[in-house]
Amino acid sequence: MIIAQITDLHVVAKGRLFHPMISTNTQLVDTVTHINSLDPRPDVVIVSGDLTEHGLTEEYDFLREILKDLIPPVFLIPGNHDRREALMTAFAGEGYMPQPDAPFVNYAIERFPLRLVGLDTTVLGHDYGLMCEQRLRWLDDTLSARRDFPTLIFMHHPPFRTGVQWMDASGLYGGRMMEEVVRRHRQVVHVACGHLHRPIHVAWGGTIASVSPSTCHQVALNLTGRGGFEITMEPRAVALHVWDESYGLISHLSYIPAGYEEIPILSTLTSEDRAQLLSQNRRDYQEICQTEYNR
């Protein structure tokens, strides 16, 4: 069985750009084409949050329109850029999606040789994530219900420290307590995360936890302990988690070829031009968010 994981799509409304230089919508179309063309084709696609940029209804409408071309079945959970109520409303017709009045987008998919558990770590209005008591209890109960069945958990905020300052500053509260829960359930073969827009792997909770690259842009690696978030156009990828009962779970990255759209490379700009462009973009975006949230 092959599980394709994509993450951090940051879809915007039809006709909009995420960034002066990045069309996340076109990049998602490329990603769908890439997954459909893989041989063997994945059995299922999981999407680990930041589905949209602002959590707006029109963004979810366009996300649904793009994802309907995906041949394998797809399962979504929210990230800090999403709004869970808008997500649950837009995908209410999908059997697995909880009702819009549910407290969280938590669910378990039982129809595959590997059990898939989707976890909602979001806190409305904040970039950090949280595994509160209610969510920890849900996870413990859900894992206890099928102790003998190999399970993959997918969630947006990674539950571990990365040692990268900005990443840990917008991390997950309750990660240590979640680690204790997962450690008690030896059937968990992998914890697949998003949020950080970089490939990262760690031994955690008696299993392996990872972060997959984004389908739009990546974030520059910075291990200096200072400095912040910087967008980079390193390769975009789909994680392919291959489950084989005799070997266990093996994770690969399948890089997404660049699409037809021209994406200027940030590294060709001088650092001054780049800083100016990014700060202008940040101001534009703050304005757009403010206007759209106030609508």
Contact residues: Fe ion, CB under 5 A: 8, 50, 79-80, 195
Q: Give whichever of 49 and 150 is closer to Fe ion, judged by the CB atom.
A: 49
Cα–chain-centroid distance for residue 4? 12
Q: Give whichever of 30 and 151 is closer to Fe ion, judged by the CB atom.
A: 30
Q: Give whichever of 143 and 191 is closer to Fe ion, judged by the CB atom.
A: 191
Q: Give whichever of 114 and 266 is closer to Fe ion, judged by the CB atom.
A: 266
The nearest distance, CB 122 to Fe ion, in angstroms, is 9
Sheet with 248-255: strands ordered across: 74-77, 44-48, 2-6, 237-244, 248-255
The nearest distance, CB 146 to Fe ion, in angstroms, is 29
The nearest distance, CB 7 to Fe ion, in angstroms, is 7
* Dist. CA 282–CA 274, nearest whole Å: 12
Beta carbons of 223 and 198 less than 8 angstroms apart? no
Environment class of residue 91 by beta-carbon count within 10 Å: exposed (0-12), middle (13-18) or buried (19+)? buried
| Strand 188-193 to 172-173 pairing | unpaired
Q: Where are the alpha helices (DSSP H) in the chain?
A: 24-37, 57-67, 84-90, 133-145, 165-169, 175-183, 271-293
The nearest distance, CB 98 to Fe ion, in angstroms, is 20
Neighbouring residues of 155: CB distance < 8 A, sequence distance ≥ 6: 48, 49, 77, 118, 119, 120, 121, 129, 191, 192, 193
The nearest distance, CB 50 to Fe ion, in angstroms, is 3
Q: Give whichever of 11 and 35 is closer to Fe ion, judged by the CB atom.
A: 11
Q: Give whichever of 23 and 142 is closer to Fe ion, judged by the CB atom.
A: 23
Which amino acid belongs to residue 11? Answer: V
The nearest distance, CB 195 to Fe ion, in angstroms, is 4
